[in-house]
A and B are shown apart, each in its own frame.
Chain A
Amino acid sequence: MAAVKPRVKVPKSASAGEVITIKTLISHPMESGQRKDNDGNAIPRQIINKFTCEFNGQTVFTCDIDPAVSANPYLEFTAKVNEAGTFKFTWVDDDGSVYTDEKEIALK
């Protein structure tokens, strides 16, 4: 599997109380387990099954992902920012690998 790489877009700063849009992308084949290879054998399932976003230790957004989501899952969501801090993003793979990224945001 090619290197799994997360990418995150968070505004650099926001006013207190502002609702911002966060965009996340992770390069991952999201093998559903339904495909077969050239010999007719099923290609085993391997997907990102959970995504979590935390801000200053508090959970902002989390979701469980199922095999219907296709490769390189793109997740976009909003968050209300009341203070400056750090967003932490976590993706969990079926094989137990955990991928993370962080972005800081300042208050205007």
Chain B
Amino acid sequence: MLAGSAGTAAFAGGPVDEDLVIDGEVEIITRAPAPEGHPLDEVLSGWLFREPETRALEADTFANPAMLGVDAGADIWNTVEGTEGKSCATCHGDAAESMKGVGAHFPKWDADSGKPINIELQINKCRTEQMGAEAYPFDKGGQKELTTYIKHQSLGEPVSIDLAEGDMQSWWDKGKELYYTRFGQLNLSCSNCHEDYNGSYIRADHLSQGQANGFPTYRLKNAGLVSIHNRFRGCIRDTRAEFPAAFSDDLMALEVYVTWRGTGLSVETPAVRQ
């Protein structure tokens, strides 16, 4: 079976037909039937669109450069911070147990704020409300490492979010509207690249379906961890548009929708990409 989904331009290279098993132990679902109402037949992990050397880095936790970030996240998990004298571990114990499966089901509905909440914001909520510590500024202070560590505890678990909770459905609707909106001087929407032309090339970049299951991801381009809101902002910036603030309502709606678009794929955090 070739590139999988009937609705995409598969002739310009397309995804590879290979399996990802990390350290020969953890099976990663890189192809899954799309959920009900999805425009594509099959959802594909970005891993399938990368060069063989890049794919090999993710298959070996020793070679995956982001595992050092996971180790750093583990240190943060155990570090006491804030006026209450607590660390994450004080309440949540061993992350391998308490956080197992958690990352696969975010963003969730947060009744307190009346908005969806992702792992980064949940960390900040715990820090400010439970630990008496300051919220992390976007992408700083250890936010990326700690988010990666938490999500990594769900490695292999299929992504699924609950759209029935609270008002998630209307945020999904907003996210879907944004996904198909053309932005910027280049007048590109998310769907133009990631739905219409995944498998083709934009200049030298091999387009994937733009899934969220591997975030925070190690990008070789940055030689470091990249968070999903950073990537949203980067993509919109690349259309030569003004890009929204991280964790703004627009980007939270987009995160809900884009996460849903990858339903069924395994959490790969930290993935390795170009």
- Residues of chain A whose beta carbon lies under 8 Å from any beta carbon of chain B: 2-3, 5, 7, 9, 23, 25, 27, 72
Q: Closest CB of chain B to A25's CB: distance in Å? A: 7
Can you spell out 17 A-B residue pairs with CB atoms less than 8 angstroms apart? A2-B72, A2-B75, A3-B71, A3-B72, A3-B75, A5-B68, A5-B71, A7-B62, A7-B67, A9-B62, A23-B62, A25-B62, A25-B68, A27-B71, A27-B72, A72-B65, A72-B68
Q: Closest CB of chain B to A88's CB: distance in Å? A: 19
Chain A residues, Cβ within 8 Å of B71: 3, 5, 27
A27 to B72 Cα, complex, angstroms: 10
Main secondary structure of the interface of B (DSSP, over half): helix
Total A-B pairs, Cβ < 8 A: 18
- Residues of chain B whose beta carbon lies under 8 Å from any beta carbon of chain A: 62, 65, 67-68, 71-72, 75
Given known contacts A9-B62, A25-B68, what 16 new A-B pairs fall within 8 Å (CB)?
A2-B72, A2-B75, A3-B71, A3-B72, A3-B75, A5-B68, A5-B71, A7-B62, A7-B67, A23-B62, A25-B62, A27-B68, A27-B71, A27-B72, A72-B65, A72-B68
A75 to B67 Cα, complex, angstroms: 16
Chain B residues, Cβ within 8 Å of A27: 68, 71-72
Chain A residues, Cβ within 8 Å of B67: 7
A29 to B264 Cα, complex, angstroms: 38
Chain A residues, Cβ within 8 Å of B65: 72
Q: Closest CB of chain A to B233's CB: distance in Å? A: 24
Chain B residues, Cβ within 8 Å of A72: 65, 68
Chain A residues, Cβ within 8 Å of B68: 5, 25, 27, 72
